[in-house]
Amino acid sequence: MDVLSRRLGGLVVLICLLSGCGHGDSMESFSGPTMGSTYSIKYVRRSGLPAQADVRVEVEKILADIDRQMSTYRSDSDIERFNALPASRCQAMPTSILELIRVGEQLSVQSDGSYDLTVEPLLNLWGFGPQARGEKVPTAEALAEARKRVGHQHLRIEGDRLCKDAAVEVDFNSIAAGYAVDTIAAKLEAMGIHDYLAEATGELKASGHKADGSPWRIALEEPRDDRQVAERVIAVDGFGLSTSGDYRNFFEQDGQRFSHTFDARSGAPVSHKLASVTVIHPSALMADGLSTLLLILGPERGWDYAEKHDIGAFFVIRADTGFVTRSSHAFERLSGKKTE
């Protein structure tokens, strides 16, 4: 499968099935490549369920459809054909893309424009996008020119068509994996599979329990490049989970560090001390988008946003002595509990 893209936000969720990680007789599991990374499906095998091969076919069909529609690394994808259009043009789009455009607009409005799906010109300019020509700090003139092609206000939906009034380019990498997980979870449920953990590029959704009756447990990884360290382990049932971080995709120039997480309002990478943020939400799509949004906003604005909107968020913040963590009230309430 062609890759969708590198993720906009760094991923620090570990799939850690503590106590019972093995492939026992009552468990089914399979995995494969997707979106420049991997996916994995684990579920409890019960009588009357479809064969694993049939489940895999359905899952990989979903992933192939999303790649064909949303990849910024293949010129024939629906979104890249739209991105290649000049200003004042429209293109018929599948309902999935229109749904994500509406979610992106919602998150853009709620973040006062800091989160935006049209940052691809900025990603390319700074060296992080599919059309990048090397990582570097751009000139003020080049940045000003790129910012003319950024802004969700330049997009509109007319029936089944997506239209633009400027030469904007849409990048779904902050929400596509979450959308994929939700779509896979819905398919598993429709096939009668209710105890599962579905994961794509680190975004995940868990439902029910493992074969031995214990919950699906997820380890949140400390933001380190040298080794994997579990910062906290939580039980997940009926929720999506997404982590975004700024520490695995960055470059340094003249002693300054530039991450791949952008504030669309400034056109520049964020420079605060929030290393990663994990969001738990009934929708993996919303968890995916909100984790990126909170990472962009930073440790203070992001915390205030999470508390105001009752978002379950777990913050890992850089400090002089290492990392400090902070959990929103909703995170403490939701982690380990099933949504009603």
Q: Is residue 95 part of a domain?
A: yes
- Report which residue type is found at 131: Q
Residue matched to tokens 């329990």: 209
Total-model pTM: 0.87
Q: Which residue is it, tokens 């019972």? A: 20
Is 94 within a domain? yes
CATH of the domain at 91: 1.10.3980.10
Is residue 113 in some structural domain? yes
Local confidence pLDDT in tens for the 340 residues of the chain: 333 333 333 333 444 444 444 444 489 999 999 998 899 999 999 999 999 999 999 999 999 999 999 998 899 999 999 999 999 999 999 999 999 999 999 999 999 999 999 988 887 786 765 655 556 676 788 888 888 889 999 999 999 999 999 999 999 989 999 999 999 999 999 999 999 999 999 999 999 999 999 999 998 876 654 445 556 889 999 999 999 886 555 445 545 554 667 788 877 777 778 888 999 999 999 999 999 999 999 999 999 999 999 999 999 998 888 788 899 999 999 986 544 3
Range of the domain at 129: 72-164
9: in domain: no
Residue 204 counted as domain residue: no
The total of structural domains in the chain comes to 1
CB 235 within 8 A of CB 220: no
In a domain, 214, yes or no: no
Q: Does 137 map to a domain? A: yes
- Whether 283 is in a domain gets the answer no
Whose CA is closest to 185, among 240, 128, 140?
240
Token digits of residue 82: 């739209």
